Protein backbone atom coordinates (compact mmCIF):
# COMPACT_ATOMS: atom_id res chain seq x y z
CA UNK A 1 0.00 0.00 0.00
CA UNK A 2 1.09 3.53 -0.57
CA UNK A 3 -0.07 7.01 0.27
CA UNK A 4 -0.57 8.78 -3.05
CA UNK A 5 -0.39 12.50 -3.76
CA UNK A 6 -3.80 14.19 -3.64
CA UNK A 7 -4.35 16.60 -6.53
CA UNK A 8 -5.69 19.99 -5.57
CA UNK A 9 -7.89 22.42 -7.45
CA UNK A 10 -7.46 23.54 -10.22
CA UNK A 11 -5.55 20.41 -11.37
CA UNK A 12 -7.01 19.43 -14.79
CA UNK A 13 -7.50 15.74 -13.85
CA UNK A 14 -10.13 16.85 -11.32
CA UNK A 15 -12.22 18.05 -14.27
CA UNK A 16 -12.04 14.84 -16.30
CA UNK A 17 -14.76 12.19 -16.26
CA UNK A 18 -13.55 8.84 -14.93
CA UNK A 19 -14.06 5.69 -17.01
CA UNK A 20 -15.91 2.57 -15.85
CA UNK A 21 -13.87 -0.27 -14.39
CA UNK A 22 -14.09 -3.26 -16.75
CA UNK A 23 -12.88 -5.91 -14.34
CA UNK A 24 -12.25 -5.83 -10.59
CA UNK A 25 -8.80 -7.40 -10.58
CA UNK A 26 -5.62 -7.12 -8.49
CA UNK A 27 -4.76 -3.78 -10.09
CA UNK A 28 -8.10 -2.33 -8.99
CA UNK A 29 -7.77 -3.85 -5.50
CA UNK A 30 -4.31 -2.26 -5.22
CA UNK A 31 -5.81 1.06 -6.30
CA UNK A 32 -8.52 0.70 -3.63
CA UNK A 33 -5.91 -0.05 -0.95
CA UNK A 34 -3.85 2.98 -1.93
CA UNK A 35 -6.95 5.17 -1.96
CA UNK A 36 -7.97 4.00 1.52
CA UNK A 37 -4.49 4.58 2.90
CA UNK A 38 -4.35 8.02 1.28
CA UNK A 39 -7.79 8.96 2.64
CA UNK A 40 -6.94 7.86 6.20
CA UNK A 41 -3.57 9.61 6.10
CA UNK A 42 -5.08 12.92 4.94
CA UNK A 43 -7.34 12.45 6.99
CA UNK A 44 -10.60 12.59 5.07
CA UNK A 45 -13.94 10.78 5.00
CA UNK A 46 -13.93 10.11 1.26
CA UNK A 47 -11.66 10.03 -1.77
CA UNK A 48 -12.34 9.55 -5.48
CA UNK A 49 -9.78 8.04 -7.86
CA UNK A 50 -9.63 11.29 -9.90
CA UNK A 51 -8.14 12.96 -6.82
CA UNK A 52 -5.01 10.82 -7.10
CA UNK A 53 -4.96 11.19 -10.89
CA UNK A 54 -6.52 7.82 -11.78
CA UNK A 55 -9.50 8.27 -14.12
CA UNK A 56 -11.44 5.18 -13.03
CA UNK A 57 -14.91 5.11 -11.48
CA UNK A 58 -13.87 4.21 -7.94
CA UNK A 59 -14.32 5.98 -4.62
CA UNK A 60 -13.85 5.09 -0.97
CA UNK A 61 -15.68 6.47 2.05
CA UNK A 62 -15.39 6.05 5.81
CA UNK A 63 -17.70 8.29 7.81
CA UNK A 64 -17.01 6.67 11.20
CA UNK A 65 -16.26 9.22 13.92
CA UNK A 66 -13.10 9.01 16.04
CA UNK A 67 -14.84 6.94 18.73
CA UNK A 68 -16.37 4.48 16.26
CA UNK A 69 -14.57 1.55 14.62
CA UNK A 70 -13.50 2.41 11.09
CA UNK A 71 -15.80 1.23 8.34
CA UNK A 72 -14.27 1.40 4.89
CA UNK A 73 -16.81 1.41 2.07
CA UNK A 74 -15.65 0.81 -1.49
CA UNK A 75 -17.71 1.85 -4.51
CA UNK A 76 -16.72 0.71 -8.00
CA UNK A 77 -18.79 1.85 -11.01
CA UNK A 78 -21.32 3.50 -8.66
CA UNK A 79 -24.72 4.68 -9.81
CA UNK A 80 -27.06 6.78 -7.70
CA UNK A 81 -30.41 5.23 -8.52
CA UNK A 82 -32.58 7.19 -6.11
CA UNK A 83 -32.26 10.58 -4.39
CA UNK A 84 -34.83 12.13 -2.04
CA UNK A 85 -35.23 15.11 0.28
CA UNK A 86 -32.70 17.85 0.94
CA UNK A 87 -30.03 18.60 3.51
CA UNK A 88 -27.29 21.17 3.83
CA UNK A 89 -23.85 20.25 5.17
CA UNK A 90 -20.74 22.30 5.57
CA UNK A 91 -18.59 20.31 3.15
CA UNK A 92 -14.88 20.12 2.74
CA UNK A 93 -12.80 18.40 0.09
CA UNK A 94 -9.25 17.06 0.14
CA UNK A 95 -8.73 18.80 -3.21
CA UNK A 96 -9.74 22.17 -1.66
CA UNK A 97 -7.50 22.33 1.41
CA UNK A 98 -9.01 24.38 4.22
CA UNK A 99 -12.28 25.13 2.42
CA UNK A 100 -15.68 24.44 3.92
CA UNK A 101 -18.91 25.56 2.29
CA UNK A 102 -22.59 24.95 2.89
CA UNK A 103 -23.87 22.78 0.06
CA UNK A 104 -27.42 21.53 -0.45
CA UNK A 105 -27.84 17.91 -1.53
CA UNK A 106 -30.30 15.06 -1.29
CA UNK A 107 -30.88 13.77 2.25
CA UNK A 108 -31.24 10.17 1.17
CA UNK A 109 -29.74 8.27 -1.73
CA UNK A 110 -29.72 4.70 -2.93
CA UNK A 111 -26.49 3.74 -4.65
CA UNK A 112 -25.69 0.64 -6.65
CA UNK A 113 -22.03 -0.35 -7.09
CA UNK A 114 -19.48 -3.15 -6.99
CA UNK A 115 -17.40 -3.78 -3.88
CA UNK A 116 -13.66 -4.53 -3.78
CA UNK A 117 -14.41 -8.18 -4.59
CA UNK A 118 -16.42 -7.19 -7.65
CA UNK A 119 -19.69 -8.13 -5.98
CA UNK A 120 -22.71 -5.92 -6.73
CA UNK A 121 -24.49 -4.26 -3.80
CA UNK A 122 -27.10 -1.61 -3.13
CA UNK A 123 -26.90 0.78 -0.20
CA UNK A 124 -29.43 3.27 1.16
CA UNK A 125 -27.69 6.17 2.86
CA UNK A 126 -28.76 9.23 4.84
CA UNK A 127 -26.99 12.21 6.41
CA UNK A 128 -23.22 12.50 6.08
CA UNK A 129 -22.88 9.17 4.27
CA UNK A 130 -25.41 10.33 1.65
CA UNK A 131 -23.51 13.63 1.30
CA UNK A 132 -20.21 11.82 0.88
CA UNK A 133 -21.63 9.47 -1.77
CA UNK A 134 -22.99 12.42 -3.78
CA UNK A 135 -19.76 14.41 -3.36
CA UNK A 136 -17.53 11.51 -4.45
CA UNK A 137 -19.85 10.53 -7.29
CA UNK A 138 -19.58 14.12 -8.57
CA UNK A 139 -15.77 13.78 -8.60
CA UNK A 140 -16.10 10.84 -11.01
CA UNK A 141 -17.89 13.18 -13.44
CA UNK A 142 -15.36 15.99 -12.98
CA UNK A 143 -17.84 17.98 -10.88
CA UNK A 144 -16.40 19.80 -7.86
CA UNK A 145 -17.82 21.40 -4.73
CA UNK A 146 -17.01 24.85 -6.11
CA UNK A 147 -19.53 24.19 -8.92
CA UNK A 148 -22.30 23.94 -6.31
CA UNK A 149 -21.78 27.51 -5.08
CA UNK A 150 -23.37 30.67 -6.40
CA UNK A 151 -21.21 33.08 -8.41
CA UNK A 152 -20.29 35.28 -5.45
CA UNK A 153 -19.30 32.40 -3.18
CA UNK A 154 -17.39 30.82 -6.03
CA UNK A 155 -15.33 33.98 -6.50
CA UNK A 156 -14.68 34.25 -2.76
CA UNK A 157 -13.55 30.63 -2.55
CA UNK A 158 -11.33 30.98 -5.63
CA UNK A 159 -9.52 33.98 -4.20
CA UNK A 160 -9.23 32.32 -0.79
CA UNK A 161 -7.70 29.24 -2.40
CA UNK A 162 -5.28 31.35 -4.40
CA UNK A 163 -4.12 33.04 -1.19
CA UNK A 164 -3.86 29.71 0.61
CA UNK A 165 -1.83 28.20 -2.21
CA UNK A 166 0.71 30.96 -1.57
CA UNK A 167 0.85 30.39 2.18
CA UNK A 168 0.25 26.62 2.33
CA UNK A 169 1.03 25.85 5.93
CA UNK A 170 -1.94 23.48 6.14
CA UNK A 171 -3.68 24.17 9.43
CA UNK A 172 -6.10 21.26 9.38
CA UNK A 173 -9.80 22.02 9.01
CA UNK A 174 -12.27 20.66 11.56
CA UNK A 175 -14.78 19.84 8.83
CA UNK A 176 -14.98 16.37 7.34
CA UNK A 177 -13.12 16.50 4.06
CA UNK A 178 -14.41 14.40 1.23
NI1 LIG B 1 -13.83 16.01 -2.67
**pLDDT tens-place string over residues 113-147:** 999 999 999 999 999 999 999 999 999 999 999 99
- The reply to whether the predicted model has a pTM over 0.75 is yes
Which numeric CATH code is attached to 12-173? 3.90.45.10
CA 122 / ligand 1 centre spacing (Å): 22
Look at residue 164 and give its three-state secondary structure.
helix
- Nearest Cα to 22, choosing from 73, 51, 61, 58? 58
Ligand 1 (ion): which residues have CB within 5 A?
93, 178
Residue 166 pLDDT level (bands cut at 50, 70, 90): confident
CA 42 / ligand 1 centre spacing (Å): 12
Active site annotation includes 136:
yes
pLDDT, the chain, mean: 93
For the chain, the domains span 12-173
CA 95 / ligand 1 centre spacing (Å): 6
Q: 172 pLDDT exceeds 60?
A: no
Residue 173 pLDDT level (bands cut at 50, 70, 90): low
Catalytic member of 5, 22, 136, 174: 136
Look at residue 139 and give its three-state secondary structure.
helix
Work out the average pLDDT over 1-15. Answer: 94
Amino acid sequence: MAVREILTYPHPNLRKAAQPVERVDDEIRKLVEDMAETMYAAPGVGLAANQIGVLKRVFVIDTATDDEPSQLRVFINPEIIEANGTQTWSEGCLSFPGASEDIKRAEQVVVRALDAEGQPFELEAHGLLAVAIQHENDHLDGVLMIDKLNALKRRLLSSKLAKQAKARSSADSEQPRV
